[in-house]
Structure 1
Amino acid sequence: MIVRRLLPLLLVCAFVAACTAEPQPDPLPMSVPQWSATPLVSPTPSPSPSARPTSETLPLPYDRTAAVRSRLYTAPRAKVKCGIPVIRTSDWTSTKRYLRAVSSCLDRIWASAFKRTRTYFRPPERKFVRHRVKDPDCGLMPSKEADGTYCNETRTYYVLVERADLRPGGAARVAEVTAHEYGHHLQNMTNISDYMWEEQLATRSKGKKDLLSRRLELQAECFAGVALKTMGDYMPAWWEFRSWYFGTLPGKWTRDHGRLSTQLKWLERGYNSAEPGTCNTWTTPEQKVT
């Protein structure tokens, strides 16, 4: 889930590029798959199609092994070429066209990674909306206060596009939200999200639940960075992505999503490497996922 609504008095311009560009709306938090915060469906994890091996694919691990030794971490850098159009100011049609092109490029990037690791893959469903809509299993989507949410049960991500996004300056934000939600789909396909959910059910500690959620969210940020870098020249400049991570989040979002500075570090980690193997948040010391 993407949620980056900054507390207004703490939002600052940290570098000249972000301050001299056209004014941007307040960013929003990050995102947890809908059920990870407030389950709206049965708590029993649904079996992933990735668990059904074929002659071309290998069976996936479950439990902690799925998170700490995912085969996705061994995938090399993907090389793709994607034609992505620009967003025309105040044009919902061109924004949808842009987001669909970004999503199609994400399909190609991650299908290649899964193929190289002999892991079953199918793309997620995606919905780009101007107002919240009802998912058959996860209820109103995106979640309240969030720009994007992934529904684990229907394998669908939802991205809320606001008026301020209907301009070239909004391209970085909506692309990052889309790439982040796609990261949750990767976690679903590799049983990582099932592991997180089972661990949350097994503990009564709110602190541990939040830590597990942060590991999931920050990994999705890192996967987003991998994909955004892979798209290269088709995406806005790095400073445009970076400019959304200054300020602070309300406490409830910081606790289960991590500080904006931590989110930026993981996004940048994936972006600099362009390799999924740098995104293993599950064996990282707790102080690095705050």
Structure 2
Amino acid sequence: MRLDDFDPNAIKVDDQRGSGMSIGGAGGKIGCGSIVIAAIAYFVFGADPMSTLSTINGAQSSGPVATSGGTNVSESCRVDALSKESCDALASLNKTWAPLFAQANIKFADPTLHFYSRMGRSGCGTAQSAMGPFYCPEDQGIYLDTEFYKQMDQELGATGQFARDYVIAHEYGHHVQNLTGLSDQIRSAQQQNPDRANDLSVRLELQADCYAGVWAAKNRDRLEPGDMESGLNAAHQIGDDVLTKGRAPESAFTHGSAAQRMQWLKKGLDTGNEDACDTFADLRT
């Protein structure tokens, strides 16, 4: 995907890389799907779920982080090619979504892209690389350890720049849900109907996939040959059934099957219409 170079004055970036962080003692509140993330870490990366959870809770500590970060947006976004790629995608996402919010007369706020290496801190508690990229509604932040992209390529078979752009765009989709108030509504519904919690989580995730497709469609002139295939392959490779290698029942899915994720990403790509991303429509009929 041929994206413009980021404008350092038009994006928000925080860089925790090279901070030498060692997590111990109080690790902050557990949340943002950490139990699910721990299970996924087990199936994808071979990490023990309980070990992952105890690390998130601050019961274990990490050594110094060697990766160097930047002291300002320009430096942080140019630490390496993957950092710049992420910042370029963030800038494009801001440019795409801000006018849509203005048209809908909904207040818009840019998210902050937080780079970290191995471990970091977020408004939702401790960030750990095994969690993969995630969005924290508490501080409107997208958290990313760029090493995840190498794991996507080498361990998941999700290759190509657009596969990586799709990851950022998906997390941005959660930001859109947060700003519109949908995330709060779903969390409330999950608390009131615990038996539906996983189903509602899946619908949120699939909508974020669709929103990622909408962003790409609205920037169709920037797409290159193979981009759509790269994105759809990534959506397939991170489906719950593929990640768990069939070991988890569909009732335990929280992000959707490979087929569902591909379906909703493609719907966004095909329509370019955010209104087509209503994964909750059948619940209202």
Alignment TM-score, normalising by the size of structure 1: 0.61
Taking the aligned partners of 1:155 and 1:128, their CA distance within structure 2 comes to 14
- Deviation of 1:37 after TM superposition, in Å, equals 2.7
Following superposition, the deviation at residue 243 of structure 1 comes to: 2.0
Greater RCO (CA < 8 Å, at least 6 residues apart): 1
| Contact kept in structure 2, 1:36 and 1:197, CA below 8 Å | no
Q: Corresponding residue for 1:164?
A: 150
Deviation readout 1:151-178 (Å, 9 max, x if unpaired)? 01001011231262799x5412221110
In the other structure, the counterpart of 2:271 is 273
Contact 2:83 2:146 in 1 (8 A): no
The one of 133, 141, 150 aligned to 2:127: 141
* Aligned counterpart, 1:249: 243
Residues 45-81 of structure 1, C-alpha deviation per residue, up to 9 Å, x if partnerless? xxxxxxxxxxxxxxxxxxxxxxxxxxxxxxxxxxxxx
Unaligned runs of 5+ in 1: 1-33, 40-90
Pairs aligned (count): 198
Q: Which residue of 2 aligns with 1:23?
A: none
State yes or no: 1:107 paired with 2:94. Answer: yes
CA shift digits 1:96-116 (9 cap, x unpaired): 112111101100100010011
Q: Which runs of 5+ in 2 are unaligned?
A: 1-29, 36-77, 154-158
Q: Which residue of 2 aligns with 1:37?
A: 33
CA distance in 1, matches of 2:192, 2:283: 21
User: Is 2:189 aligned against 1:189?
Assistant: no
Give the 5 Å matches for 1:14-33: none
Q: Could you report, residue by residue, the CA deviation over 1:159-213 in whole angstroms, capped at 9, with x for unpaired residues? A: 231262799x5412221110000000100100000000101111232xx110110
Matches within 5 A, 1:50-61: none
- Change in Cα spacing, 1:99 to 1:149, as seen in structure 2 (3 Å) is same
Question: Cα gap change, 1:186/1:256 in structure 2, threshold over 3 Å: closer, same or farther?
Answer: same
Tell whether the 8 Å contact from 1:159 to 1:177 is kept in structure 2 after alignment. Answer: no
Measure, in 1, the Cα distance between the counterparts of 2:254 and 2:136. 17
For the residues of structure 2 that align with 1:166 and 1:256, how far apart are their CA atoms? Answer: 19
Deviation at 1:38, TM superposition (A): 5.0
Contact 1:213 1:256 in 2 (8 A): yes
1:203 aligns to 2:193 (yes or no): yes
SS in 1 for 2:281: coil
CA distance in 1, matches of 2:214, 2:174: 14
Once superposed, what is the RMSD of the aligned Cα atoms? Answer: 2.9
Q: What is the CA–CA distance in structure 2 between the aligned matches of 1:245 and 1:178, rounded to whole Å?
A: 13
Say if 1:35 and 1:151, in contact at 8 Å, map to a contact too.
no
Bigger mean CA deviation after superposition, 223-232 or 191-200: 223-232
Aligned to 1:226: 214
Residue 123 of structure 1: aligned partner: 110
Residues 1:155 and 2:151 aligned together: no
Q: Which amino acid in structure 2 is aligned with residue 37 of structure 1?
A: G
Q: Which structure dedicates a bigger proportion of its chain to helix?
A: 2
Task: Tell me the secondary structure at the aligned position of residue 219 of structure 2.
Answer: helix
Identity among equivalent pairs (%): 25
CA gap 1:165/1:190 in 2 versus in 1, 3 angstroms: same
Contact 1:218-1:281 within 8 A present in 2 as well: yes
* Structure 1 residue 231 displacement after superposition: 2.1
